[in-house]
Amino acid sequence: MRLTAAKSNALDSNVPLVVLLVTAGKTTSLPGGTLGERALALMGRKVFEAGMRETLVLHAEDRSGPRALLLIGVGAAREATPDDFRRAGAIAIKEAAKLKADKVIVGTGGKAAFSAESLQAFGEGAVLAGYRYSQKKPTSAPAKSVGIVSDVKGAASVLKTAMALGEGANIARDLGDMPGNVATPRHLKTRAQAIAKKGELKFRAMDRKALEKAGYGGILAVNQGTSEMPYLVEMDYNPGKAKHTICVVGKGLTFDSGGISLKPSAKMEEMKYDMCGAGATIGLMHAVATLKPKNTRVIAIVGTTDNMPGPSAYKPGDVVKTGSGKTIEVINTDAEGRVVLSDCLHHATKHKPDAIVDMATLTGAILIAIGSEAAGLFCRDDKLAARLQESAERTGERLWRMPTYDVYTQAIKSKFGDISNSAGREGGSSTAAAFLFEFTNGIPHAHIDIAGTAWNGPKRDYNEDGWATGYGVRLVYDMIANWG
């Protein structure tokens, strides 16, 4: 989908669909030709009151002007937030698909107006609603071109940002929605490689042999039970003379059976989504490569394998040596994400970054604790946490800060190794985070547990129930872009 800044006369042109965002209250004129006049009359009679997300569709009877007009309310009782505009963008594009409109022009009426922030949000919502899963023939086609009329300075560049972020999230969603036999570790690697090549990022993938050479026994242990090749993938955006370096780490378990500590059958098919942290990281790098933030080098690291109970599978009681030299006593083979991440995080520290942010569908416990409305933020560095919380505010990808007390570190002390990979169910998300902190060597580190938000996430018009959300792309990009 292409988003462009359009001139105001486009609202009266003969396009398949014009969308107007309107607020309640007295409106004296609306663009959209005769359809605009009819809409105005209906507003006057209070048939349409422009309440938040309220819609009205009018179809043209004559041959001049737009073929259809869609009004979307953006506020009566309260002021519209950027997320309201993001939802409006999705509503517009879903309606366009129903009307088979390949071209859409968007504007505002009455007191409604775009700011740079709400314009970007609207554009993101539009691109997100244009997502179509690549592995099945879609039942409808999204609009190809969306022109938006606004008074925003630099609208074209704002829309470019919206497009890149929406596309990045859609890449993450598509990788997530693909089954584990298609989105294999090799597939993730190949997809990351293609994005790196197109965006001129440096790319490196360590396969089993390279991982063995580096002594990365964590990811290798998890990989023992499968015939798939594991990879540690690195995508490096380096603008030159960068003032800061940020490492983003993603968990890429392309299918998590639990291994020897096998999961129950119910909903096990959803475990194809256990690579959504990797998906978001790869999608993020599409946005980074497209938008080229200044001053900040961004290195993405994805650890990918699946977790299967094959004949050589790692077992409870095994003690494995990670790349950092620390040993892990395996209590539960289903707590494999942290075992893979131990090597990825250690690998990240070698770049001596200013901060490490990891995204991982790490624990079912986070879903029990806070549901799917927000991801869990675990961070012992208040400054880094504050940056992410501000980004969460701005992007509508919510975060809730979770406890990171020292007692959680005490709880994972191991009798037979340095640390154990499970301390049981109580505080499960916090003990998992404490485990990860053991591998970042004091570098400011934020762990984002996206197990509740990555699929079946927050109920929004731009998310689909039962599908991946691409959560984290907008959030982490915003943090990078505002790093300074």
User: What positions carry a catalytic annotation?
Assistant: 263, 338
* One-letter amino acid for residue 127 of the chain: V
Taking a C-beta distance cutoff of 8 angstroms, is the pair 321, 233 a contact?
Answer: no
Specify the 3-state DSSP secondary structure of 255. strand
How far apart are the C-alpha atoms of 218 and 258, rounded to whole Å? 15
Query: Which one of 127-135, 222-230, 334-342, 441-449 is the stretch in contact with Zn ion (CB under 5 A)?
Result: 334-342
Is 334 a binder of Zn ion (CB under 5 A)?
yes
* Polymer length of the chain: 484
**CB-wise, 336 or 438, nearer to Zn ion?**
336
How far apart are the C-alpha atoms of 277 and 86, rounded to whole Å? 23
Specify the 3-state DSSP secondary structure of 146. strand
CB nearest Zn ion: which residue? Answer: 334
Taking a C-beta distance cutoff of 8 angstroms, is the pair 86, 125 a contact?
Answer: yes
**CB-wise, 234 or 256, nearer to Zn ion?**
256
124 is written with which tokens? Answer: 């993101």
Is 306 a binder of Zn ion (CB under 5 A)?
no
**CB-wise, 112 or 451, nearer to Zn ion?**
451
Query: Which one of 50-58, 99-107, 206-214, 326-334 is the stretch in contact with Zn ion (CB under 5 A)?
Result: 326-334
How far apart are the C-alpha atoms of 55 and 47, rounded to whole Å? 11
Query: Which one of 128-136, 248-256, 386-394, 453-461 is the stretch in contact with Zn ion (CB under 5 A)?
Result: 248-256
- 419 φψ region: left (φ > 0), alpha (ψ -120 to 50), beta (else): beta
Cβ at position 261, least distance to Zn ion in Å: 8
**CB-wise, 95 or 336, nearer to Zn ion?**
336
Query: Which one of 12-20, 148-156, 256-264, 417-425 is the stretch in contact with Zn ion (CB under 5 A)?
Result: 256-264
How far apart are the C-alpha atoms of 274 and 451, rounded to whole Å? 8
215 is written with which tokens? Answer: 């002594």
How far apart are the C-alpha atoms of 90 and 445, rounded to whole Å? 34
Which residue reads 């799917």 in tokens?
A: 372
Phi and psi torsions of 148, nearest 5°: -120, 125
Tell how strand 17-22 and strand 68-73 pair up: parallel
> Pick from 95, 256, 343, 461: which binds Zn ion (CB under 5 A)?
256
Cβ at position 259, least distance to Zn ion in Å: 8
Is 449 a binder of Zn ion (CB under 5 A)?
no
Cβ at position 35, least distance to Zn ion in Å: 54
Number of residues interacting with Zn ion: please give it, by CB under 5 A: 3
Phi and psi torsions of 82, nearest 5°: -55, -35
How far apart are the C-alpha atoms of 162 and 165, rounded to whole Å? 5
Q: Which residues, 6+ apart, have CB-to-CB distance to 280 below 8 Å?
A: 169, 172, 250, 359, 450, 454, 470, 471, 472, 473, 476
Cβ at position 457, least distance to Zn ion in Å: 19
Which contiguous run of DSSP H or E holds residue 377? strand 375-379
Cβ at position 188, least distance to Zn ion in Å: 17
Cβ at position 272, least distance to Zn ion in Å: 13
Cβ at position 36, least distance to Zn ion in Å: 55
Query: Nearest Cα to 423, choosing from 342, 359, 363, 344?
Result: 363
Query: Which one of 111-119, 206-214, 328-336, 459-467 is the stretch in contact with Zn ion (CB under 5 A)?
Result: 328-336
**CB-wise, 110 or 428, nearer to Zn ion?**
428
**CB-wise, 83 or 336, nearer to Zn ion?**
336
**CB-wise, 329 or 334, nearer to Zn ion?**
334
**CB-wise, 57 or 369, nearer to Zn ion?**
369
How far apart are the C-alpha atoms of 279 and 470, rounded to whole Å? 8
Which contiguous run of DSSP H or E holds residue 73? strand 68-73
Cβ at position 361, least distance to Zn ion in Å: 9
- Strand-pairing partners, residue 237, are 298
Give the number of other Cβ atoms within 10 Å of residue 386's Cβ. Answer: 12
Cβ at position 274, least distance to Zn ion in Å: 7
**CB-wise, 122 or 455, nearer to Zn ion?**
455
Query: Which one of 135-143, 192-200, 335-343, 393-401 is the stretch in contact with Zn ion (CB under 5 A)?
Result: 335-343
Taking a C-beta distance cutoff of 8 angstroms, is the pair 105, 149 a contact?
Answer: yes
Residues found near Zn ion in the complex (CB under 5 A): 256, 334, 336
